[in-house]
Amino acid sequence: MFNKKIKLKGSFASITCIIISILFSYFLYAAEYEFTNNKEVLSSAITEFTSYSQQPVEACVLESIEIDGVLIVLFKDNSDQTVSGFARLLKGLNQRYRLVNATYSQSAYMATIKWHKIETENENYYAVGGYNFDDNIEAYGLGFYAERSEEIVILKYAINNSQFIDLYAESDLQNELRERKGEDERYIFDYLADVVLLDKNGNNIRDDYRVIEDSTGSWSSSTSKAELSMLYVFIGIVLFLGILLAKFF
């Protein structure tokens, strides 16, 4: 009877060690993947995330879109309407997000278009973010540089809201461009060669929204967080120690 009680106590202690190690590992994980997809939550997160950079912002999240577990957020700086950018967050197993990067810059135009590359396991995507658009702007155009012909090819897209995020797969953009210029042409997607804002008559009215005449003093900034490899190593050590301690009971 006495030996049976000892065995029960030992089993209880072993199970307790394993449970504690699992809970501690979860709390470590949840401390990194902590944000919900809520505009106020994300605005505060981005503001804090950039507070240690040379160009901190008072972030206001405008729109967001998710693809393959990557949440892309368009935000502006409440203290300077010409400053905006994208934040990238990764979805965790707990269905919350980890903020890993914020890239932002000053624009010479009040009606702003931003371009951002998203790399996923399945395909490369490009987010186009816009805000401060009025009823005079019917569409926007994205200019892509053709390497062989050295031309800039414009793809046009209708605008439905004053602020938005549109998402394009690189393969779809390639197909659209090849239909225009042929299969043999190659295009650069890392940056936009040109941006146009079109009225109902198809005229480019982008210069009507210019607020900074000399853009040579414009700046850009990027803040990133380190990879999670050390966190996973630490979680593995915690789980290993929990199992090891459980064997002693």
Number of domains in the chain: 2
CA 240 to CA 44: how far, in whole Å? 36
* pLDDT given at position 26: 62
How much is the pTM?
0.82
Question: Strand 164-169's sheet: what is its strand order?
Answer: 112-119, 124-131, 164-169
Assigned domain for 237 exists = yes
Assigned domain for 104 exists = no
| Claim to verify: residue 113 and residue 213 sit in the same structural domain | yes
Assigned domain for 210 exists = yes
Assigned domain for 41 exists = no
| Claim to verify: residue 211 and residue 243 sit in the same structural domain | no
pLDDT (tens digit, 0 to 9) for every residue of the chain, 249 residues total? 444 444 444 565 666 666 666 666 666 777 788 999 999 999 999 999 999 888 999 999 999 999 999 999 999 999 998 899 999 999 998 999 999 999 999 999 999 999 999 888 888 999 999 999 999 999 999 999 988 888 899 999 999 899 999 999 999 998 898 887 776 778 888 888 899 999 999 999 999 999 887 655 578 888 887 666 566 566 666 555 555 555 665
CA 62 to CA 52: how far, in whole Å? 22
* pLDDT given at position 47: 96
Query: Given its phi and psi angles, is residue 146 left (phi above 0), alpha (psi -120 to 50 degrees) or beta?
Result: beta
Structural domain that includes position 241: 2-30+231-247
| Claim to verify: residue 243 and residue 192 sit in the same structural domain | no
| Claim to verify: residue 171 and residue 146 sit in the same structural domain | yes
Assigned domain for 67 exists = no
Q: How many helices (H) and strands (E) does the chain have?
A: 4, 12
| Claim to verify: residue 165 and residue 207 sit in the same structural domain | yes
